[in-house]
Copies of this chain bind each other. A is one copy, B any other.
Amino acid sequence: MRFSHLFTATRRDAPKDEVAKNAQLLVRAGFIHKEMAGVYSYLPLGFRVLKKIENIIREEMDAIGGQEVLLTALQDPDVWKKSGRWSDDVVDNWFKTTLANGAEAGIANTHEEPLTALMREHVRSYRDLPRYVYQIQDKFRNELRAKSGLMRGREFIMKDLYSFTKDENELERFHEKCAEAYLRIFRRVGLGELTYRTFASGGAFSKYSDEFQTLSEAGEDTIYVDKEKGIAVNKEVYTDEALADLGLKKENLVEAKAIEVGNIFKLGTRFSEALGLTYRDEDGAEKPVVMGSYGIGLGRLMGAAVEVFSDEKGIVWPEEIAPFAYHLIALGAERTVRARADEIYDMFAASGAEALYDDREESAGVKFADAELIGIPTVIIVSEKTLSAGEDRVEVRRRATGASRMARIGDIVT
């Protein structure tokens, strides 16, 4: 994409109404736009990052047998009354609205109830199980405060998968399989080394739930990490009993702040019993389906990446989720430089490599500052200086390290 075509402008100064680093940088660099507190639109650069995260998650969910659907935001109160979660006294962050006929409707904050009701029409016998159903879609939560940028939104995009299994053993097997898929996702988006499977409080059905926590000072959670074993414990279950359960020793644990980037819960029969989702087993007996839920917030993941991969100059995107792989800069207005940069941009396009091409009539200072703010991993510079070293030479600068070298363009575009 040509920078001159991109409609978003960068800003030198952080927006005054943002306190979270991720929101400050993403707004300044033109990735997102704040509509209201905790409600952000994605602009072209942010949309590209979002789609890359989405594709990685989709591949991993498909790989473990997930089937993709798209449920609705508008919700019929009836299904929520069955589980006892319609009341604002039980769920304190509902957004509700009124239909033209005067009836109430909800705006989905999660989808256990409607999906469980939907599955009743498709699950009859043990032969119809297990099923793994997921979606990538908006959630709405009526948070009183929303100051963490993309990390805690009133409207946010989430991947939520729900498992429907015959029994606890089958649930347990999928739970582990999904936990492994989650670790692959966090590795692939570039957060792998900082992200730990973390034991947290479980709820009615199981002693512990699994969170995935990314180490960051911006995190709202405190965890205790065993780096050797590669797992952690949330402060909320940091007791002698839990440590014994998990085979962890206090002396090996390090306290750290962390961002919860994913979670998986064993739901058991909580929703299937409330909504009547049963199946007939091999012996003809009717049993409630055993469920689990598995969430990842896509915006939160993007926000977490910015929190941990940024410096005083801007964002430093990991390769796999960067909006573009290359940031091509033409320095100076000389016709030879422009013509060569145009050629290189065409080479990128022809090879299928994704490049943002700064073809604007701006100073070197402005172009470099924007490149550092936007944070594309590899910056390719074409200038009189590089041309004088040879027609096929460019300067290659790594955003992460600032390291710069001369290279043949043919060695980069293959």
Contact = CB atoms under 8 A, between A and B. Distances in A.
A3 interface: no
B97 A69 contact: no
Contacts of A138: 73, 138
A50 interface: yes
Given A95-B97, A105-B36, A140-B74, A7 B122 contact: yes
Interface residues of A, number: 55
A119 interface: yes
A39 interface: yes
A114 B42 CA distance: 13
A67 B155 CA distance: 22
B128 A7 contact: yes
A74 to B, nearest CB: 5
A144 B76 CA distance: 16
A42 B67 contact: no
Contacts of A30: 122
A336 interface: no
Nearest 3 CB-CB pairings of A with B: A42-B70, A100-B144, A7-B131
Contacts of A47: 68-70
Given A44-B68, A93-B100, A75 B35 contact: yes
B41 A72 contact: yes
A183 interface: no
A43 interface: yes
Interface of A is mostly: mixed
A26 to B, nearest CB: 14
Contact of A36 (B36, B74, B93): B74
- Of A7, A39, A128, chain B has the most CB atoms within 10 Å of the CB of A7
A70 B97 contact: no
A369 to B, nearest CB: 17
A76 B67 CA distance: 35
Nearest to A75: B35
A203 interface: no
Nearest to A132: B7
A133 interface: yes
Nearest to A79: B35
Interface in A41-94: 41-44, 47, 50, 65, 67-76, 93
15 contacts: A5-B65, A6-B67, A9-B122, A9-B124, A35-B71, A35-B74, A36-B74, A36-B105, A39-B72, A39-B76, A41-B71, A44-B69, A73-B73, A73-B107, A74-B95
A154 interface: yes
Contacts of A273: none
A118 B42 CA distance: 11
A317 interface: no
A8 interface: yes
A282 to B, nearest CB: 15
A133 B72 contact: no
Nearest to A361: B127
A121 B41 CA distance: 13
